[in-house]
Structures are given as C-alpha cells and as structure tokens.
Amino acid sequence: MKLLRYGKPGSERPGLLDSSGTLRDIGAYIDDIAGAHLSEIGLRRLREVDTSFLPLVEGNVRYGPPVGQVGKFICVGLNYADHAADSGVAVPEMPVLFMKATTAICGAYDTVIIPKGASKCDWEVELGVVIGDVARDVAPEYALRHVAGYVVINDVSERDFQFEHGGQWVKGKSCDTFGPIGPWLVTKDEVPDPQNLSMWLEVNGHRYQSGNTRTMVFGIAELVSHISRYMTLMPGDVISTGTPPGVGLGQKPPVYLKPGDVMELGIQGLGLQRQYVVAHP
C-alpha cells in the first residue's frame, strides 16, 4: 500500500493510492496514518478494505508528511562509506545517532526555508524507515518485523549551525522545514529488498547525489536493532538512515542552497520530492 496524508498543514486527512494510482480518502476507517494503524494488525485491516468504494479525492491537493503524530525522528550519520570520505572522517565502528526535531517535518513538496543567520544550507537524500510495532531491544533477525514501511526523506542541514555552534548536530538539523518526508509511505510488503534501492538528488537540474542503499555501512535491520537497544521505538517513529555522497559540503568548493533553488529527489519505488527554497521572511 501507498499511504499518505493530504490537505492543509495541521489539517491533513488520511488517504491512499489505489492500484491505478488514484488518490482515495480512507477517513471512514482511520483517523490518521499514525500510531496503532501502522502496526502489523492495523495495516492488515487496511489491506482488507475494498478501495473501489473509497471516496475519490479530485483536484490539486497538498501532500503532507505521510506519517502523523511522529514521536521520534532519529537520524543516522555517516552511514555510507563514500559519504564519510566526502566528509573527511573515518567510517564509524558503530552507528552514529542524532535526533532531528519533529517540528522540522513537512511535506514532500513544501517550501524549504533557509533560517535566519544561515549560510551553509545543504541537502541529503535518505531512506526513511517508519516503525509499525513497538521495538525494544530486538535482535537483528527480527528487526524488520517491527517496520511498517519506507519513505523518502530530505535531511536538510545547516552546516554552520551543525559544526560551529557548539553541542551536537541537532542544531543544524532541526530548523523548521528541514525534514521533508514522503510523498507517501510504502508498506514493507511492496519493498522486497530495502537494501537495493537506487536514490538520487538534483539541485536546479544538476545531479549531485546518485547512490544505492546497498552501500550502507549498517543495514536497516541492524539499525533498528541497535537503536532499540538504547530507546524503545514506537509506532510512527521515523529513522532516517543516512545519505550517499554528493552533498553540498563535499563539493570542491562546497556548494550550498540559496533562495530560488529547487531540490528534486527520489528513491526507487518510493516516490519523488520537489522543494523550492526561500529565505527566512
């Protein structure tokens, strides 16, 4: 299934794309794409719905973030060996974790705002993992049972805030609009091998990133297991699993986002994103 949330920010309704790619409303069955509805039982119930009887959604609509009520937005740093080399650091021996504020979350086509005082805004296409069932200290061989599905994420970053403002990376990762997710959540049954998905990102039509999830240092099952050792993962929690090489920081000389730029990105089978960049008002 491809599950999504559509409508104005803060007032999104739950929807899905049927087999023909038509948007339909599923508000008669669930109140949001969130919580227990993302569990294995919840998703099984949704699969049993006859989509042909669901109301059609016509006209141009905004696609909001496809997961509502996200409790934790967890990110993995330096999880592609070639990206670590781009950044001039060694490949980590264990997953590098940091948090991104949930207030950064926005839709796949929403505008990205360069925050006040920023000078080094960057892009990062990443595979996102959405938790479906509670995961607490799970073994790697069982970890994917706790996954609801996968999403495209643009882990927008302000490098000056990230590296020069003291503390940890969260400062450069959490500004409003720095977490475009979607356009939809693809349930895991439609992603037979999440460790072999091509991914790409362009700015103003120039392709900067081109990679594949098979080059992750730590795979998805290992990441879910590892993170669940340190914190309980709840339904709707989102894990952003790292980015391949080609970020602005790694260009020679570095290239950063400016007002008027357009980012376009995608992951095989998971959809496309497009964001227009503006300055802070």
Question: Mind listing the pLDDT tens digit for each residue in 32-43?
Answer: 999 999 999 999
Is 186 exposed, middle or buried, given 0-12, 13-18 or 19+ CB atoms closer than 10 A? Answer: buried
Q: How confident is the model at residue 168 (pLDDT cuts 50, 70, 90)?
A: confident
> Distance between CA atoms of 151 and 130, rounded to whole angstroms?
7
Q: Which residue type does 69 have?
A: Q
* Greatest Cα-to-Cα distance within the chain, rounded to the nearest angstrom: 55
> What percentage of the chain carries pLDDT values higher than 90?
92
Does the pLDDT value for residue 265 go beyond 90? yes
Task: Single out the residue of 272, 191, 131, 132 nearest to residue 1, CA to CA.
Answer: 191
Does the pLDDT value for residue 86 go beyond 80? no
Which residues, 6 or more positions from 63, have their beta carbon under 8 angstroms from its beta carbon?
4, 5, 6, 107, 108, 109, 182, 183, 184
Mean pLDDT across the chain: 95
> What is the pLDDT averaged over residues 212-222?
96
Is the distance from CB of 243 to CB of 210 less than 8 angstroms? no
Q: State residue 91's pLDDT score.
A: 83
Strands, E, within the chain: which ranges? 2-6, 13-17, 23-25, 73-77, 96-99, 105-107, 112-114, 121-122, 125-131, 147-154, 157-158, 179-181, 185-187, 198-203, 206-212, 238-240, 262-267, 271-279
Q: Under CATH, which architecture does the 68-279 domain have?
A: Alpha-Beta Complex (3.90)
| pTM of the predicted protein model | 0.96
More confident residue, 107 or 84: 107
Does the pLDDT value for residue 81 go beyond 90? no
Based on its alpha-carbon atoms, the radius of gyration of the chain, rounded to whole angstroms, reads 18
Q: State residue 92's pLDDT score.
A: 85
Does the pLDDT value for residue 79 go beyond 70? yes
Q: State residue 241's pLDDT score.
A: 98
> What is the pLDDT averaged over residues 25-34?
97
Does the pLDDT value for residue 87 go beyond 70? no
Q: State residue 98's pLDDT score.
A: 95
Is the distance from CB of 46 to CB of 26 less than 8 angstroms? yes
Which residues, 6 or more positions from 88, have their beta carbon under 8 angstroms from its beta carbon?
none
Does the pLDDT value for residue 210 go beyond 70? yes
Task: Give the three-state DSSP class for 218.
Answer: coil
Does the pLDDT value for residue 277 go beyond 80? yes
> Distance between CA atoms of 47 and 278, rounded to whole angstroms?
40
**Count of residues in the chain:** 281
